Amino acid sequence: MSAGRARRHLWPVPAGEGEAEALLALVARGDREAFAALYDLVAPTVVGIARRVVRDPHQADEVAQEVLLEVWRRAPSFDPAKGTSRTWVATIAHRRAVDRVRSEQSERDRRGRDAERHTTADPDPVAGSVIGDAERDEVAAALGQLTDLQRQTIELAYYGGYTYSQVADILDLPLGTVKTRIRDGMIRLRDALEVTA
């Protein structure tokens, strides 16, 4: 027997259809034992609603706990003239579950928008191609301003994909010489590209 069920028998339980309303009236006055009994009475309905709406059992259980806590806090606001206590609790459960689904969807949408911002394709592929061609022409013109040795080492390293050590082996030069040529060539490239920018 659960602790809630054991507590339930410590005080007289109202019988019949008015049981939930009577318990809720006691909960409104802060009666913890009445809340334990009400919890036992409505928890299956609350969990069922949450699971049908949310579909994720873990989140549905969280929603159910939030609902039952809200029932404890809002018990004094229950008005039997507006409907039964079970309907009142079910309405709270449904609203909380829908709020959770909307919150999760909003979070997924936000993440999707963030991802799109970081991976959006060029909105005008023709303009992107023209800009890319223009930039390539500028780089080619700047490479033309380098010495043959600077251009050769940079083309091997940056266009050929070789490491500095491999460039040194290919050109049969010391590694320090290759690094110096590449560094000097990159400085001249930067200066040439800044003039055309």
List the CATH code of the domain at 125-196: 1.10.10.10
CB count within 10 Å of CB 26 equals 19
Read off the pTM. Answer: 0.51
Phi-psi region of 171 (alpha: psi -120 to 50; beta: other; left: phi over 0): alpha
pLDDT value of position 116: 75
pLDDT value of position 131: 56
Q: Is 8:37 a contact under the CB 8 Å cutoff?
A: yes
Type of residue at 140? A
pLDDT value of position 44: 93
Share of the chain above pLDDT 90, in %: 34
Contacts of 47 (CB under 8 A, 6+ apart): 60, 61, 64
When pLDDT is cut at 50, 70 and 90, the band that residue 40 belongs to is very high
Protein fold of 3-119 = Rna Polymerase Sigma Factor; Chain: A (1.10.1740)
Residues 102 and 108: their CA atoms lie apart, in Å, by 10
pLDDT digits (tens, 9 = 90+) for 63-110: 999 999 999 999 999 988 888 888 899 999 999 999 999 988 888 888
- Return the SS3 of 78: coil
Per domain, the residue ranges of the chain are 3-119, 125-196
